[in-house]
Amino acid sequence: MKWNWELDDWPNFSAPKADISSQERQFLENAGVIIGTAKHLSPGDQETITVSLMSMEALDTSSIEGETLDRESVQSSIQRALGLKASKSSHRPAEAGIAEMMVDLFRSIEAPLTDQKLFHWHETMFQGRSDIALGRYRKSQEPMQIISGPSYAPKVHFEAPPSTAVPREMKTFLKWFNETCPDGPNSLPTIKRAALAHLWFESIHPFEDGNGRLGRAISEKALAQGRTEPVVTSLAGTLLEHQKDYYRELQLTNHDLDVSRWVAWFADRVLEAQQTSLQHIEFLVSKTKLLDRLRGQLNPRQEKVLLRMFAEGPSGFKGGLSAKNYITITGTTTATTTRDLSDLVQKGALRREGERKATRYYLNLDQ
């Protein structure tokens, strides 16, 4: 059976059975809500949410590839790349590289996508690596294959075009991508364009490594270009949650140019990702309101614990905050912990669930 790029009509992808018009409308409505909600934040908090969302995207897109990065180091690297005050934590090349790539991505949203931009992202993302060719398309004569299973009996899931065809294939892809942007002569609906761009790029698989991360970055660029103000969509985090389905849906397109199923699946994931971004922005708004209301009413221990809980994000401490957690964070006594926690509940900062040893505390953001 032929691969998609071997078919006579390549690369004319189509999605005749994917009616995502409602998802496209919802995407634009959600974008307006996200932008409107973010405007309630102070400039400092807007910077915080930008760093937070970029950090999440950098961590999640790396996790999809099986690479676990240090959250604090990624955040600090992004702050430095944005010219903001950053902690003095050490920065490994992996964290610094993906952070710099994410910042450059969102600083150049409106700029055309070019070979040189992709080379720059590739070289930045893999700084410090010497085992692959950086900043250029693959040139090996060996087939570029996605395989699984043991080396003595590998299963080939996909084989990309030969390296000699990559420059020509990328020229066609980049021309299409730039001409289908919102202001382009052949503009396409935002989600459909992002879905096709990701699939097409992965089909070419132009680099020795990093194609998944770059493909998702291209989708983020396409989604951001479809809004009046660019906001991180948190696409990688949603794809990470659906990782098995993500790989399966991509694999199902390997032999066909009718990609209706992929486009419909991708559209639903984009709306999920938008909700994640909105939750983080609403969380920061709630955090600001709560801390403003409690200003001057907390002792240093209570303030430290609340900030530590906020640092965990909307999901908070897994299983809630226990008295033992409080003691570990503050180094205080059991009696003081009991008084502090009771006071935080009375002030409406925390809500209590359970009894005795099963007692847990959660941020009370509904106040």
- Is 212 part of any known ligand binding site? yes
Amino acid identity of residue 272, one-letter, is E
Quote the CA–CA distance of 274 and 238 in Å, as a whole number: 9
Quote the CA–CA distance of 288 and 309 in Å, as a whole number: 13
Is 91 catalytic? The answer is: no
- Is 331 part of any known ligand binding site? no
Q: Which of 91, 122, 198, 205 is catalytic?
A: 205
- Is 209 part of any known ligand binding site? yes
- Is 247 part of any known ligand binding site? yes
Quote the CA–CA distance of 308 and 48 in Å, as a whole number: 15
- Is 216 part of any known ligand binding site? yes
| C-alpha to C-alpha distances, 158 to 25, 150, 204, 248, nearest whole angstrom | 34, 16, 11, 12
Q: Which two tokens stand for residue 196?
A: 């096709």
- Is 226 part of any known ligand binding site? no
- Is 215 part of any known ligand binding site? yes
Partners of 362 in beta bridges: 351
- Is 325 part of any known ligand binding site? no
Quote the CA–CA distance of 255 and 244 in Å, as a whole number: 19
Q: Which two tokens stand for residue 278?
A: 């909105």
- Is 246 part of any known ligand binding site? yes
Quote the CA–CA distance of 213 and 104 in Å, as a whole number: 14
Quote the CA–CA distance of 215 and 210 in Å, as a whole number: 8
Q: For the chain, what's the residue count?
A: 367
Which parts are annotated binding residues for ATP?
A: 209-216, 246-247, 254
* Residues labelled catalytic: 205
Which parts are annotated binding residues?
A: 209-216, 246-247, 254
